[in-house]
Amino acid sequence: MKFVAHIDVMPQKEILDPQGKAVQLGLHNLGVQAVSDVRIGKHITVALEAASESEANAQVEEACRKLLANLIMEDYSFRLEQV
């Protein structure tokens, strides 16, 4: 079975996000005033083959924990889409 995993890696709530702050200021300066609490992380798409959805789940979990997310500062979430 072939899957595509859509993974989001975001800075944890308690962590300051200076990049997000800068973008928020930029949006205000460009006239988009109503925005607040801008946070910026990574969006990663991965194609993978696995025997079952639970195996695919386990592989994506492993990839996130081993490489994609820094669990000290970041949280990850993902959804699998069968293709």
Number of residues lying near a copy of itself (CB under 8 A): 32
Considering only residues 45 to 64 of the shown chain, the ones binding a copy of itself according to CB under 8 A are 45-50, 59, 62-63
Query: φ and ψ at 39, to 5 degrees?
Result: -130, 140
83 binds a copy of itself (CB under 8 A): no
Residue type, 30: L
Eight-state DSSP code of residue 83:
-
Query: At closest approach, how far in Å is the CB of 9 from a copy of itself?
Result: 7
Residue of 40, 1, 6, 10 whose CA lies nearest to 22: 40
Interface residues with a copy of itself (CB under 8 A) are 8-10, 20, 23, 26-27, 30, 32, 34-50, 59, 62-63, 66-68
